[in-house]
Amino acid sequence: MSQPVGRADHADDRATHQATRHGAAGRPHQPDAHTREPPATEHLWTLFQVDQQRINALDTIAMTIRGWMVTLVAAIVGFSLSQHHRSLLLVAMVGAALLGLLDIQYRATQLRHVDRIGKVQQVIAPDYRLRPRRYPGGPPWLKPIIQSRYHSSILPYLFVVFVLLLLWIAT
């Protein structure tokens, strides 16, 4: 497959030859540390959108896990109360705790995406805050949970385990 060689091809060949001779061929232009520019805004915006979709998907997964927890606990509690097996309430507590740990794992992944979105946001729109500042408040014994980035994952499971514990004591 031979094709005729025109003047444009010769000019390209000369430019390639000069670049090879000066050691610049095969590697893109690398700016030094002082002239390094941030990534293009379009790429950052795409990353922002992808991370936001992942955060939303992880929210859906967390809600599914909580739905499993409610279904599992309700079934075990119903069976336990109907059959008078008090020990099954402990099984329900352990099940709720294990599903809580699974939820916390997904929350940790979600928070990594939230942190990256925060960094992208600082580059794209440095004067705009996506997350509000935290306001101190509430009872002192709840502050570690409320101020934790995991409180939305921890509180539903703590509530269920607390209710199950009360039910276990009452029966």
The per-residue pLDDT for range 22-41, each reduced to its tens digit, is 444 444 444 444 545 555 78
Nearest 5°: the CA angle 60, 61, 67 is 90
Q: What is the mean pLDDT of residues 125-141?
A: 66
Instruction: Please classify residue 14 by burial: count the beta carbons closer than 10 Å to its beta carbon, then call 0-12 exposed, 13-18 middle and 19+ buried.
Output: exposed
Query: What pTM was computed for the model?
Result: 0.65
- For the cut 60, the answer to whether the pLDDT of residue 135 exceeds it is no
Region 147-155: mean pLDDT is 78
**Which has the closest alpha carbon to 65: 94, 99, 108, 95?**
99
What would the pLDDT profile of 61-84 be if each residue is shown by its tens digit? 999 999 999 999 999 999 999 999
Sketch the domain layout of the chain as residue ranges: 40-129+137-170
Q: Look up tokens 């002239």; give the residue.
A: 35
**Quick one: pLDDT at residue 138?**
65
More confident residue, 21 or 116: 116
Q: State percent of the chain over pLDDT 70.
A: 67
Sign of the Cα pseudo-torsion (120, 122, 125, 130, in order): positive
| Bigger pLDDT: 148 vs 166 | 166
